[in-house]
Amino acid sequence: MSAFSAVDVITAKRDGGALSDDAITWMLDAYMKGDVADEQMSSLLMAIFFNGLDPRELLTWTDRMIASGERLDLKGLSRPTVDKHSTGGVGDKISLILAPLVASCGAAVPQLSGRGLGHTGGTLDKLESIPGWRAFLTNDEIREQLESVGAVICAAGQGLAPVDRRLYALRDVTGTVESIPLISSSIMSKKIAEGTNALVLDVKVGRGAFIKTLERARQLAQTMVSLGTEHDVATVAQLTMMNQPLGRAVGNALEVTESVDVLRGGGPRDVRDLTIGLARVMLDLVGIDVDPESKLDDGSAYALYRTMIEAQGGDPDATLAVGVCKDVFLSPSDGILQSVDALSVGVAAWRLGAGRARKEDPVSAGAGVLCLAREGDFVEAGQPLFELFADDEEHLARGRDAIAGAVSLGEEPVPHEPLLLETISK
């Protein structure tokens, strides 16, 4: 007979109590064995949503999530390992540029990534718009590519923190996603199990981000940095603004094309600046004294990107898909763009076909939005503000409806909004 019961654990947390390490261990292990039902775990997640986890509880919860599966062993590589994780935004294609850039400076970057859901895009969806590119690699293939190329962007293996997959599915349908302890343990259990030496977190804040306020973003960042540090992963978080889309392109193949522009020394200034800033933090964490900007400008990062894509079966010279149905959204009047709402643009790209409502939904490679103006720009009536791309007229109409509320115009100058808000380290 067990010393615990699911009802007792749920009740203790429901009433605001702290769970013992043994209770947490038993609950998660029993859930994985099938001895705790989904509805019971859902009740515990709701109790945690309202009452939280203290630092000791959160550390134990995360430890048990890591222990539920395998750990990727990256010891013995000739390069130090460092990764980056973003909490998700609109037009956030930074990983596609950052992984080869940091690798071209001498680090190994094991970028285990995911797919998009709702208005935020997924790195794997973007790269799968490249013909032949494959997301799923074995652990041996990951190690071999890190050693030979220096960077890999691929799907996290099924064996890494498998309890997280089950918990996330429950959170998604029970209204418990927006819990800082549950978000933190979900992200960090996978990143710690990944085996990297160092980690930089890009925590997005604002209208197009999952976290809307600076206060909550700061709390999430501090929690994740503490978890990384407790597990001997050198961890730094940057809080970055996500009120308007990052760059011009929002959509899978569109974002790959923009990423290549940046890797070849061009591209939008905000994408380039954020990538270089994150790269400098990553390199500093692993003690590499190389200026990443020089690797963008001399072609080294682009060359490594091509090698990384080819190593995973992709053709870096392939022509990428573009939606055959196109429309242009025009400015309704003269004025200064007061806002270009990232959430509205992200929803438009989703409705055009670039995103999914459920994890199993397909996505369109060629659907998306090109943003032709930025906040603070003066625009004239009839000036193109967005180009919309879709695979059929039905999706194009949905995207057109969603983009209509993305901009606001006025007469007042718009103050410049900094991209980097704060840096948080232990």
Helix/strand/coil (H/E/C) assignment for every residue in 199-245 = EEEEEEECCCCCECCHHHHHHHHHHHHHHHHHCCCEEEEEEEECCCC
Q: Exactly one of 84, 93, 115, 190 is catalytic; name it.
A: 190
Q: Does the structure show a pLDDT above 80 at 274?
A: yes
118 and 137: one domain? yes
Lowest mean pLDDT among 105-119, 282-296, 297-311, 373-387: 105-119
- Interacting residues of 306 by C-beta distance below 8 A, sequence separation 6+: 316
Give the tens place of pLDDT for each residue, 282-338.
999 999 999 999 999 999 999 999 999 999 999 999 999 999 999 999 999 999 999
118 and 41: one domain? no
265 and 336: one domain? no
> Which has the closest alpha carbon to 182: 7, 37, 34, 42?
42
> Which has the closest alpha carbon to 96: 76, 111, 106?
111
The CA-CA-CA angle for residues 398, 404, 409, to 5°, reads 165
Q: Does the structure show a pLDDT above 90 at 362?
A: no
Residue 275 is predicted with a pLDDT of 98
Give the tens place of pLDDT for each residue, 222-272.
999 999 999 999 999 999 999 999 999 999 999 999 999 999 999 999 999
Q: Exactly one of 104, 186, 259, 300 is catalytic; name it.
A: 186
Residue 117 is predicted with a pLDDT of 65
DSSP-derived letter for residue 160 is B
User: Is 84 a residue of the active site?
Assistant: no
When pLDDT is cut at 50, 70 and 90, the band that residue 118 belongs to is: low
Q: Residue 258: inside a domain, yes or no?
A: yes
Q: Give phi and psi for 209, each to the nearest 5.
A: -100, 165
Mean pLDDT of 395-418: 94
Q: Exactly one of 79, 85, 191, 295 is catalytic; name it.
A: 85
Q: Residue 180: inside a domain, yes or no?
A: yes
3-state secondary structure of 49: helix
Q: Does the structure show a pLDDT above 60 at 1?
A: no
User: Is 190 a residue of the active site?
Assistant: yes
Q: Residue 167: inside a domain, yes or no?
A: yes
DSSP-derived letter for residue 350 is I
**Do 107 and 286 meet the contact criterion of CB atoms below 8 Å apart?**
yes
3-state secondary structure of 325: strand
User: Is 231 a residue of the active site?
Assistant: no
Q: Give phi and psi for 160, each to the nearest 5.
A: -85, 120
When pLDDT is cut at 50, 70 and 90, the band that residue 156 belongs to is: confident
Q: Exactly one of 63, 92, 125, 164 is catalytic; name it.
A: 164
Residue 159 is predicted with a pLDDT of 87
92 and 231: one domain? yes
Q: Exactly one of 126, 171, 204, 351 is catalytic; name it.
A: 171
pTM: 0.94
* Alpha helix segments (H runs only) across 312-407: 342-349, 393-403
The residues with which 382 forms a beta bridge, in sequence order, are none
214 and 133: one domain? yes
14 and 100: one domain? no
Q: What is the largest CA-CA distance in the chain?
A: 74
Structural domain range at position 23: 6-52
Give the tens place of pLDDT for each residue, 219-232.
999 999 999 999 99
Give the tens place of pLDDT for each residue, 38-57.
999 999 999 999 999 999 99
User: Is 126 a residue of the active site?
Assistant: no
Report the domain count for the chain. Answer: 3
User: Is 29 a residue of the active site?
Assistant: no
Rounded to the nearest integer, the mean pLDDT of the chain is: 95
Q: Give the CATH number for residue 359.
A: 3.90.1170.30
Higher pLDDT, 161 or 157: 161
